[in-house]
Amino acid sequence: MTNFQNAIETYEALTQKIASYHEATGLVAWDMRTGAPKKGIAQRSEVLGTLSEEGFLLQTSDAMKQALTTLLASKNELSEKTRRSVEESKKTYDLSAKIPAEKFRAHTVLCAQAESAWEGAKVSGDFASFQPYLEKIVANTKEFLELWGYEGNPYNTLMDQFEPGITVETVDRVFGQVREAIVPLLEKIKQSPNAPETDFLFRSFPQDKQKAFSLDVLKSMGYDFDAGRLDTAVHPFAIGLNPNDVRVTTKYDEKDFRTAVFGTIHEGGHALYEQNISEDLIGSPLCSAASYGIHESQSLFWENFVGRDTAFWDNHYTQLKTYANEQFDNVSQADFYRAINVAGPSLIRIEADELTYCLHIMVRYEIEKGLFDGTYEVKDLPAIWNDKMEEYLGIRPENDAKGVLQDVHWAGGSFGYFPSYALGYIYAAQFAKSMESDFSLTDIIQKEELGTITSWLTKNVHQHGKMKTPSELVQDITGGPLDAQPLIDYLTAKYTEIYKLD
């Protein structure tokens, strides 16, 4: 057997094994979050640690290094699939291998301590107690950036871990476009005398009926229950163990049915993506979403472009009423539609609506970018945060708990992830626009032929897994680059109508 053949075999055995470890840790994580007996959690964390470490050791092993070196030296002999897979593995290898193990371990310990300090700081609203941890985390991350390397802005390398190929130039461009359109739109909405009534949303909707309705919707979306299941979790999520086992979770609030209904549609959108990745990618690092932003585009497409669309409720409003108590008896479908699309400025990201969510993300994006290109210092973040909130959303947090301390991400050492949330909206709107050249989305939704949408998304997005980069997907689907105009057009039209702005 040649060196090359040897390297192929070694590489495939390693990636298969790594995939098995990922699948096992995924199942353990799912179990811990959906109903594992609480006393068993401590020991289960040990198990999770062992499995994660084994996977990590394989990814960074000498055997992996040698196989990658041999294969990358003969790129032209590789199939397209193997080449992409090898490149993906090399990226993972470099991220770990370039950081000295001792430094990486110390950083992991620091982040664990920082999360704990953050929890305390969030309760007391005392940023100063968290500041030294965040300073050290940022300093370490800057050190890592020098080791990893970067082109242009150092922050590019951080975003690349979540959104391969994205740069600050691109994000500045599209976020700027969105901001210029949304900030004045939001201002008009705040002045509008036509805010929707929402009281009737918050009456009592029995949990089992919410579940029945959620299951109906998941089925109509084309979610395959032979390759998945629906459970409850405190912080809902979807998780793909492999394309034939993709699980959705939701939670129920009897006083606000939107949590379960829109939450299930959102997670269902994530799950459809993972269920429809091509089976021939199983066992390789390509059996995964193209990026975090593309993943989010799928959940947001279903949640907003389908679930919050008026055509969707042409079919489902009567059905919803049969599941609910008398909650909606005197509510017209039009009023219901306007209520579920209420929008306005708010302080907390995870409570934000479709219109303002991107603005929350931009505050974080500007701060992260500034931290790593040297514009900002950690000690100034509370003031910067509050100023940006005022600039973008027109409101100022009364304390840091409702401001700079609200999210756990930075305490966990995670930088570069936030932009993906907003990119998901932009992608979703671009995809929706492209879809319109194949069929009328409104017609399809009204005819309850949601499978047509799923087929379109499978053909154009899902099946490819990581075989295409986000920009390749966007190019192939839309014929052009990332573009915020479709999102702006969509939001402007939708909210102009709902708030009767003309």
Task: Give the separation between CA 210 and CA 232, rounded to whole angstroms.
Answer: 12
Q: Which residues have a catalytic role annotated?
A: 267
Work out how close the CB of 473 gets to a copy of itself at its nearest, in angstroms, rounded to a whole number. Answer: 25
Beta bridge partners of 249: 231
Indicate the SS3 state at residue 246. Answer: strand
- Joined together, the tokens standing for residue 445 give 């939704």
The residue (of 241 and 306) whose beta carbon lies closer to a copy of itself is: 241
Work out how close the CB of 247 gets to a copy of itself at its nearest, in angstroms, rounded to a whole number. Answer: 8
The residue (of 158 and 221) whose beta carbon lies closer to a copy of itself is: 221
Residue whose token pair is 């939704």: 445
Work out how close the CB of 48 gets to a copy of itself at its nearest, in angstroms, rounded to a whole number. Answer: 9
Task: Give the separation between CA 119 and CA 210, rounded to whole angstroms.
Answer: 33
The residue (of 30 and 144) whose beta carbon lies closer to a copy of itself is: 30
- Check whether 409 is labelled as a binding-site residue: no
- Joined together, the tokens standing for residue 303 give 């949640």
Task: Give the separation between CA 444 and CA 310, rounded to whole angstroms.
Answer: 12
The residue (of 174 and 227) whose beta carbon lies closer to a copy of itself is: 227
Contacting residues toward a copy of itself, per CB under 8 A: 16-17, 20-21, 23-24, 27-28, 31, 35-40, 42-44, 46-47, 49-51, 54, 224-229, 241-242, 244-245, 247, 282-283
Work out how close the CB of 37 gets to a copy of itself at its nearest, in angstroms, rounded to a whole number. Answer: 5
Separation in Å, CA 287 to CA 84, 463, 471: 11, 9, 18
**Computed from CA positions of residues 439, 299, 296, 392, in that sequence, does the dihedral angle turn out positive or negative?**
positive
Backbone angles phi, psi at 439, to 5 degrees: -160, 165
Backbone angles phi, psi at 423, to 5 degrees: -60, -35
Extended beta strands in 224-299, E state: 230-232, 238-242, 245-250
- Check whether 270 is labelled as a binding-site residue: yes
Count how many Cα atoms sit within 13 Å of the Cα of residue 408 in the half-sphere of its side chain.
8
Minimal CA–CA distance to 493: which of 439, 432, 451?
432
- Check whether 266 is labelled as a binding-site residue: yes
Give me the helices (H) in 37-167, please: 41-59, 62-72, 80-97, 101-124, 127-148, 155-160
The residue (of 267 and 400) whose beta carbon lies closer to a copy of itself is: 267
The residue (of 10 and 304) whose beta carbon lies closer to a copy of itself is: 10
Work out how close the CB of 233 gets to a copy of itself at its nearest, in angstroms, rounded to a whole number. Answer: 15
Work out how close the CB of 346 gets to a copy of itself at its nearest, in angstroms, rounded to a whole number. Answer: 37
Per the annotation, binding residues for Zn(2+) are 266, 270, 296
